[in-house]
Homo-oligomer: A and B are copies of this chain.
């Protein structure tokens, strides 16, 4: 683990929320935005409400539930009413997924944690419903849309997790860079295919690659029949 951050205190926050489920999640989001997702702990929350850690357990069963509640609150900020534009359904879908990824990349270190979160709140359901509707609008056969929605959301989350780790460069010894330099130094004898494609492995901007990935994914979902 990296060295702990010094708690910033309640700095420029408005009137403190009440000590109940909603208020706790509100303070959790404040801490996450001001510091990082991993700073949101049960003990820290208790301290923020000037009480002992046991008090938080009156309203929230455990850390997993706390994290799920944070993510669902965040999901509430996604704009799900963009179908009215003149874009095609596929364009809208790609935009929505890119927004979702962007949202996950916002708060420091959130993205790395989401993959383990498995949200189930109403806002996540709304996101699923929207993605499904857009796939159907795009002409994807219903069964393929049903199986594909999972894969699209998983891809979005995994992309955020991968990107999130790379963005948060505190040390010089970053894992992402270690892999990159390992690939750059891979010999043609040991790694013939890597050597052959070395120039292309890191080509393109992150935005180009994301668009291509989402397009390829949707194309595959639209073109691959589900077994009877």
A-side interface residues toward B, CB under 8 Å?
1, 61-64, 68, 112, 115-122, 124-126, 128-130, 132-133, 136, 142-143, 145-151, 154-155, 157-159, 161-162, 165, 173, 175-176, 178-179, 182-183, 186, 190-194, 196-197, 200-201, 203-204, 208-209, 212-213, 215-221, 223-224, 226-227
Contact = CB atoms under 8 A, between A and B. Distances in A.
A3 to B, nearest CB: 11
Given A191-B129, A200-B147, A124 B179 contact: yes
A63 B158 contact: no
A interface majority secondary structure: helix
B64 A151 contact: no
A115 B157 CA distance: 11
Residue from A62, A145, A179, A220 whose CB has the most chain B CB atoms within 10 Å: A220
B1 A62 contact: yes
A204 B178 CA distance: 39
B212 A147 contact: yes
Contacts of A165: 116, 118
B147 A209 contact: yes
Contact of A176 (B112, B118, B175, B221): B118
* Interchain residue pairs A-B with the least CB separation, the first 4: A220-B220, A146-B200, A216-B220, A118-B175
Nearest to A217: B220
A126 to B, nearest CB: 7
Nearest to A174: B118
A192 B115 contact: no
Contacts of A128: 183, 191, 194
Contacts of A143: 200, 203
A161 B157 CA distance: 11
